[in-house]
């Protein structure tokens, strides 16, 4: 009897703790937090004994399952039943997999889940009837607009702004005809509007597309807006705020990322020959093996070796312009071959009269060698007037957004 009374008193005391007086005649109910379910791969993981692991060197599908309690299922039977959906030989070292097992003492394997990438996963159901299926995680896209000032390289600056630094190489490609990124200076401003991918609405998966941008270059803002003149499914080109294409007839440089070590001049002390002479090109230093690109489309008219030039390639672009690329470690094209703008024609080296790995870029206009960095080179065909109105309607709000967020940086 005494124990019964004690239990009742304890229950009453516990109940009272859940209530507190807020004001006279008012009772506040305290709600205890409820643990949220852990959902992944379409399963409530709380209902299983979960084991996460990765494929290790020497692992096979069979060895991974060998130590699991599969009941009557044999590995070769499983492989035969799922082969049309999941090729067990496709598993790769370092890729994650998950076991979902029963929570009882037997820990019988219910599901095997393999993730070949962040977006895709395969589920093998090992319960009563073995089957497999492939699933893709839902993707969401979120727009983001940022502004900043260069502090270090573009990739470093983006990383500091918590943006996927790989976007830097995409931006450099878009601006390859209009900006020499090695001439950008610390403090130069920029603004970017882009979309980012998220897996399951939470896991960041990088930048999906660039919607608009500007970079301050030599005191001027150079804008870039993507637009297709072939409809929604056409190839995107990038134009400035006036509808002028950013893609010029010539690239700014024969390397993606460059360091100019010697410029075109009529008088330079040659580091090998130890005498003063003209330097009729621009030297871009880069590690041996760095890809060298032709700066415009054309035909290879020379590809070979001389004592001074080392391995070199010369390209005729039209009746007016010719370019040459010297000191290659390797030539990748042949005489008479037609090449496209940006095509890799060789690798950086130090063959011929060179003190270190670089490419000497030479330029002819009407048969006379000139300084490519001082030329006003021809641009590509401008946007057709019939597309101009649609472009302006698409571009105007994007430019307004870039300019607006840039003003907040200027105020700081």
Q: What is the pLDDT of residues 373-398, one digit of tens each?
A: 777 776 666 678 888 999 999 999 99
131 closest CA partner among 159, 104, 102, 110 = 110
Q: How many residues does the chain have?
A: 412
Residue range 282-308, pLDDT digits in tens: 888 889 999 999 988 899 999 999 988
Lowest mean pLDDT among 9-23, 204-218, 230-244, 246-260: 9-23
pLDDT of residue 333 exceeding 60: yes
Residue range 128-160, pLDDT digits in tens: 888 999 999 999 999 999 999 888 888 899 999
Q: Specify the pLDDT at position 331.
A: 97
How many angstroms separate the CA atoms of 152 and 173, rounded? 19
Q: What DSSP character marks residue 379?
A: B
Average pLDDT of the chain is: 83
Q: Specify the pLDDT at position 173.
A: 85
pLDDT of residue 322 exceeding 90: yes
How many angstroms separate the CA atoms of 304 and 327, rounded? 10
Q: Specify the pLDDT at position 35.
A: 66
Q: Specify the pLDDT at position 179.
A: 81
Cα dihedral across residues 336, 342, 347, 352: positive or negative: positive
Mean pLDDT computed over 320-331: 94
Check if the beta carbon of residue 64 is closer than 8 Å to that of residue 56. Answer: no
Q: Specify the pLDDT at position 353.
A: 82
On the 0-12 / 13-18 / 19+ scale of CB atoms within 10 A, 347 is buried
Residue range 57-98, pLDDT digits in tens: 999 998 888 888 776 568 888 888 999 999 988 999 999 999
**Helix, strand, coil fractions of the chain, as percent rounded to 5:** 20, 40, 40
Q: Which two tokens stand for residue 230?
A: 């072939």
Q: What DSSP character marks residue 374?
A: G
- Tell me the pTM: 0.60
pLDDT of residue 15 exceeding 50: no
pLDDT of residue 22 exceeding 90: no
Residue range 225-279, pLDDT digits in tens: 999 877 655 678 899 998 888 877 788 889 876 677 665 555 444 454 444 445 6
How many angstroms separate the CA atoms of 295 and 375, rounded? 14
Q: DSSP string spanning 231-260?
A: BTTSPPEEE-TTS-BS-BSS-S-SSSS-EE
Lowest mean pLDDT among 26-35, 39-48, 125-134, 299-308: 26-35
Q: Specify the pLDDT at position 232.
A: 53
- Percentage of the chain lying above the pLDDT 90 cut: 43
Residues with Cβ within 8 Å of 76's Cβ and at least 6 positions away in sequence, in order, are none
Report residue 29's pLDDT band, with 50, 70 and 90 as the boundaries.
low
Q: Specify the pLDDT at position 279.
A: 64
């Amino acid at each position: 009897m005494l124990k019964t009374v004690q239990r009742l008193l304890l229950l009453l005391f516990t109940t009272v703790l859940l209530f507190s007086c807020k004001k006279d005649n008012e009772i506040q109910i305290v709600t205890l937090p409820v643990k949220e379910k852990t959902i992944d791969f379409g399963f409530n993981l709380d209902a299983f004994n979960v084991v996460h692991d990765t494929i290790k060197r020497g692992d096979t599908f069979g060895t991974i399952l060998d130590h699991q309690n599969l009941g009557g299922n044999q590995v070769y039977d499983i492989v035969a039943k799922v082969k049309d959906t999941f090729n067990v030989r496709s598993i790769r070292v370092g890729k994650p997999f998950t076991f979902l097992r029963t929570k009882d003492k037997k820990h019988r394997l219910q599901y095997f889940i393999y993730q070949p990438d962040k977006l895709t996963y395969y589920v093998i159901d090992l319960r009563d009837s073995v089957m497999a299926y492939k699933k893709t995680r839902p993707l969401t896209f979120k727009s983001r607009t940022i502004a900043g000032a260069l502090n270090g390289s573009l990739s470093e600056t983006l990383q500091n702004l918590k943006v996927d630094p790989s976007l830097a190489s995409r931006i450099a490609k878009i601006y390859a005809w209009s900006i020499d990124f090695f001439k950008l200076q610390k403090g130069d401003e920029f603004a970017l509007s882009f979309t980012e991918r998220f897996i399951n609405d939470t896991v960041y998966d990088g930048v999906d597309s660039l919607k608009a941008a500007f970079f301050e270059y030599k005191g001027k803002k150079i804008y870039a807006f993507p637009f297709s003149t072939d409809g929604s499914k056409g190839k995107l080109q990038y134009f400035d705020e006036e509808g002028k294409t950013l893609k010029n007839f010539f690239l700014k440089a024969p390397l993606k990322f460059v360091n100019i070590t010697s410029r075109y001049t009529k008088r330079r002390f040659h580091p090998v020959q130890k005498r003063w002479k003209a330097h009729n090109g621009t030297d871009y230093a880069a590690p041996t093996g760095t890809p060298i690109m032709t700066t415009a489309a054309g035909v290879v008219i020379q590809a070979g070796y001389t004592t001074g030039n080392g391995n070199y390639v010369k390209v005729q672009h039209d009746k007016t312009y010719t370019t040459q690329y010297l000191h290659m470690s390797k030539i990748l094209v042949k005489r008479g071959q037609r090449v496209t703008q940006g095509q890799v024609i060789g690798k950086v080296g130090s063959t011929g009269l060179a003190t270190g790995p670089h490419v000497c870029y030479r330029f002819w206009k009407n048969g006379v060698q000139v300084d490519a960095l001082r030329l006003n080179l021809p641009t590509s065909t401008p946007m057709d007037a019939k597309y101009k109105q649609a472009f302006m309607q698409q571009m105007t709000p994007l430019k307004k957004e870039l300019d607006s967020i840039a003003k907040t940086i200027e105020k700081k």
